[in-house]
Structure formats: structure tokens, C-alpha cells
Amino acid sequence: MTTGYFPPDRPALTVDVVIFRLREGQLETLLIRRAALPYKGRWAIPGGFVRADESLDAAARRELLEETGIKDVFLEQLYTFGDPRRDPRGRVVTVAYFALITAAQPPPHAGDDAAEARWHAMPSLPELAFDHIQILAFALRRVRFILEYTAVGFELLS
């Protein structure tokens, strides 16, 4: 683990936002290609550091907008991931969010520290940065429950 990014006695806090959509019966997730280290060039879930003066929800909405151009979606807090080795820069805890959106949403566009933003069909995903494959797996279990047992899934099909 690289040192020097964060004080060892103060973990950094991030948010990650898993976005799913149904398109022609296929579940897809939105990923960004990282433009900066660590994991430069690798695909990742949109997200980033929480600022000292913002709430977790505001940070999630801001990061999603900055990295993908997506806004005005309902985000639900998913889970907190805190493996001490999840980020090579130091101790980073992330609060993951997820959203289900319709295929009618405007296409994403990369911004901020994202080199590219693109939809990927589940489950055939590229190699992901950090522990994002575990975050996606957790979110996928949640979204399967929602699609199977609620009316939200039917709304996404329209």
C-alpha cells in the first residue's frame, strides 16, 4: 500500500454510484474509464471523494454529474465498503449508492477525471478498479430483488 496520501489515523471518505438500466431486456451498468492514477485507464464505478462541507447524498449526486453528466435520478444508499486494502493510496472507506434509470435517459458523457463513460452489459464486464467488482455484485443482488418483487422493474421496461 502506498503511503503519503492520507494520514494513517484518518481514513478518507468516498462515494461510489452504481447505475443500472434495462435496455432491450438486457441489464446494463454505467462505468467510467479512469483518467488518473491509481488504475489509470481501467474501468470503474463513477465516484470520488466527499468534500468536508457536503453530505454523502450531495457528494454522490455531484460525482455522478461530474463524471457522467447524469443528474436528477433517485439514488439509494446501498452499503459501506471499508476493507483497509481497497485503495492503494491509503485507508479509504466508500459509501456506495445505486440507481435504476430508464433507457430513455440521455447518453452519458465523460467529465472531470473520467476519460470515458459507457454502458456495459451485465455480467460481461471489463476488469474493474479498486474493489468495484464486489460493489457491483452487491448492487446486482439488490437490483434483482427490486426487479423481481416491485413495480419499479415494470416502469423501467416502458
Query: CA neighbours within 13 Å on the CB side: how many for 5?
Result: 15
Closest by CA to 46, choosing from 145, 122, 118, 147, is 118
Separation CA 140–CA 137 (nearest Å): 5
Cα-based distances in Å from 14 to 25, 59, 93, 94: 32, 8, 6, 5
Query: Which set of grid coordinates corresponds to residue 133?
Result: 467488482
Among this protein's residues, is 116 annotated catalytic?
yes
- How many other C-beta atoms can be found within 10 angstroms of the C-beta atom of residue 88? 14
> Which among 116, 127, 148, 155 is annotated as catalytic?
116
4: left (phi over 0), alpha (psi -120 to 50) or beta: left
Q: Which residues are catalytic?
A: 116
